[in-house]
Copies of this chain bind each other. A is one copy, B any other.
Amino acid sequence: MSVDGLSINLATVREQWGFAAAVDGCLRHGITAIAPWREQIAKIGLAEASRIVHQNNLHLTGLCRGGFFPAATAEKRSAALDDNRRAVDEAAELGADCLVLVVGGLAENSRDIVAARQMVADGLDALLPHARACNVPLAIEPLHPMYAADRACVNTLGQALDMCELLGEGVGVAIDVYHVWWDPDLAAQIARAGKMNAILAHHICDWLVPTRDMLTDRGMMGDGVIDLPAIRRMVEAAGGTPKQEVEIFSAQNWWLKPGDEVLKACIDRYENCCQSDSPA
């Protein structure tokens, strides 16, 4: 088996490596697809990051991340929009498949999740012309409902696709198994996303039992309870063939291990636990 279908989200090794070292690590293991974070790009500088990406013919399965549209004042929402436009520019310069959007939760001091969702729709609508002009698809990433208050008020694939339908061309979804595996409507919504040509990214990791921290206790594929082959089958049946991008926040485990060891585990688990014909 090859690692052609594998991408490494650089958050997975963010505690071990900066951007350049992470790229070197991936290349050492034959991995040529990555998804960096803007902070990682900023540290080395966009020009140098772009040089590394293009010189090595790296495939960027996404740039993380834009979003965080809701805010209490028009001024703050406008500032968020400006920052999102810069994120689009960076994604364009790096040639990323999409800009991944964590849309944001409630505005400050607000309990109005309906209003927050409207601010997200408005922000996306305002961002889209620039994204289209730059040929950067926007990928709404529905986040697990446990992040609804503080990270993303778009919490199901169905809700994200409803937004995509209203917004039109240039926007789709990032399907992260961690956020959607529980959804009773998952199969139907992945099929719908396929019909809409809206599957822009497929992120993988695993849900650990118990989960000891809501943010930084994600598992390596195979160590948790997500039926990864089943979800991959849904994606493939929907006509989606995005690379599988490993994104693991793991403060107590994987972030403490040498980066090469983490990448080896990613490859091993990708090959053995994540294929549509892997054992459940």
Contacts and interface: CB of A to CB of B under 8 A. Distances in A.
B145 A182 contact: yes
A170 to B, nearest CB: 22
Interface string A131-157: 000000000000011101110010110
Size class of the A contact interface (CB-based, 8 Å): 20 to 34
A112 interface: yes
A183 to B, nearest CB: 7
A210 interface: yes
A184 B156 contact: yes
Contacts of A72: none
A192 to B, nearest CB: 15
A7 to B, nearest CB: 23
A227 interface: yes
Contacts of A227: 111-113
Contacts of A149: 182, 207, 209, 224-225
Interface string A182-219: 11100000000000000000000001011100100000
A184 B209 contact: no
A95 to B, nearest CB: 34
Interface in A77-130: 106, 111-113, 117
B146 A225 contact: no
A178 to B, nearest CB: 11
A165 to B, nearest CB: 14
Contacts of A146: 144-146, 211, 214
A113 B150 contact: no
A113 B226 CA distance: 9
Interface string A169-189: 000000000000111100000
A159 interface: yes
Contacts of A256: none
Nearest to A153: B182
B145 A209 contact: no
A228 to B, nearest CB: 8
B159 A184 contact: yes
Contact of A145 (B113, B144, B210, B226): B144
Contacts of A144: 145-146
A184 B150 CA distance: 16
A265 interface: no
28 contacts: A106-B225, A111-B225, A111-B230, A111-B280, A112-B227, A112-B280, A113-B182, A113-B227, A117-B184, A144-B145, A144-B146, A145-B145, A145-B146, A145-B182, A145-B183, A146-B146, A148-B181, A148-B182, A149-B182, A149-B209, A149-B224, A150-B209, A155-B184, A156-B184, A159-B184, A210-B214, A211-B214, A214-B214
